Amino acid sequence: MREPPPPMMSAPMMMGRTRMMVAAAIGLGLLFLAVGAMVVDLGNQVIVSPTPEQTAANANLRVFIGPAIAHFGMFLFVVGLIGAALFLEEMDIFVRLFLLIVSFVALLLVLANSPTLFGI
């Protein structure tokens, strides 16, 4: 009897579910950070003769909606970095430590620069 042919793609070459979730969390986090910055910039647009509704809408975009989207993006980004450091065991230990340090610094940036946390 002949041996069966080798599989077309072996398991280490395929992206596992954990890796895909980590990559999706990091990618979506960066995307939401960019969208949040765009929404804040939309709130900073200059209107020649604004109505009170347009002024209130711009203030809502600038103060509430944009930072909320950006905070959700930073949350996903930090969760993705921590998930990569904890769940991807095939990486070098120093890379995993570096990811934990980067996630801690990103979290400190959110806490130090957030105008919406704790009403400050």
Tens digits of per-residue pLDDT, 66-92? 888 988 998 999 999 999 999 888 889
Long-range contacts of 98-101 (CB under 8 A, 24+ apart): none
**This prediction's pTM:** 0.76
**Mutual orientation of helices 93-113 and 66-87 as an angle, nearest 10°?**
160
97 pLDDT more than 90: yes
Closest CA to 117 of 78, 81, 83, 70: 70
Cβ proximity of 110 and 88 under 8 Å: no
Domain ranges of the chain: 21-43+52-119
